Amino acid sequence: MSDDIVSKKGEVVGQWNGESVDDLKKVLLSLRQTLRKNGDKVEHTGIPHSNQFPDDLKNFTAYILWAVDKKGNVLVGSGANRTETVENIREFYANDEAKASLDRHNLVE
């Protein structure tokens, strides 16, 4: 798999090797201003190594998941400015699914 970070306009604007989301966060921060001047940006769909996402998080929609590194850390949020662990997101997702199920069946906790 390529390490290319691809902008919304389809241009390769950086690299990320999938090792650390902290490194990715730094790369995205450095790209943001330059891309904005050119009317471009990077979206979560332009980040390489999407194969590192666990299957159970691929349909997670509560907030944006940008990337998962090899240690199970996840870059999250609309600004790609927070880091969480896969396990913390799974806990949130499980609770969210449970609440949705309760709502669907009009059950009280």
pLDDT tens figures, 18-64: 999 999 999 999 999 899 999 999 999 999 999 999 999 998 888 89
- % of the chain with per-residue pLDDT over 90: 74
Domain for residue 77, yes or no?
A: yes
Our measurement of the distance from residue 36's CA atom to the centroid of its chain's CA atoms, rounded to an integer in Å, reads 20
Q: For 62-104, what is each residue's pLDDT tens digit?
A: 889 999 999 999 999 999 999 999 999 998 877 765 556 545 5
**Which pLDDT belongs to residue 62?**
87
Domain for residue 109, yes or no?
A: no
Q: Say how many domains are in the chain.
A: 1
- Check if the beta carbon of residue 65 is closer than 8 Å to that of residue 85: no
Residue span of the structural domain in which 13 resides: 4-104
Task: Spell out a b/e string for 37-74, using b for 16 or more CB atoms within 10 Å of the CB, else e.
Answer: eeeeebeeebbbbeeeeeeeeeebeeeebbbbbeeebb
Domain for residue 9, yes or no?
A: yes
Whether pTM > 0.95 for this model: the answer is: no
Q: How confident is the model at residue 1 (pLDDT cuts 50, 70, 90)?
A: confident
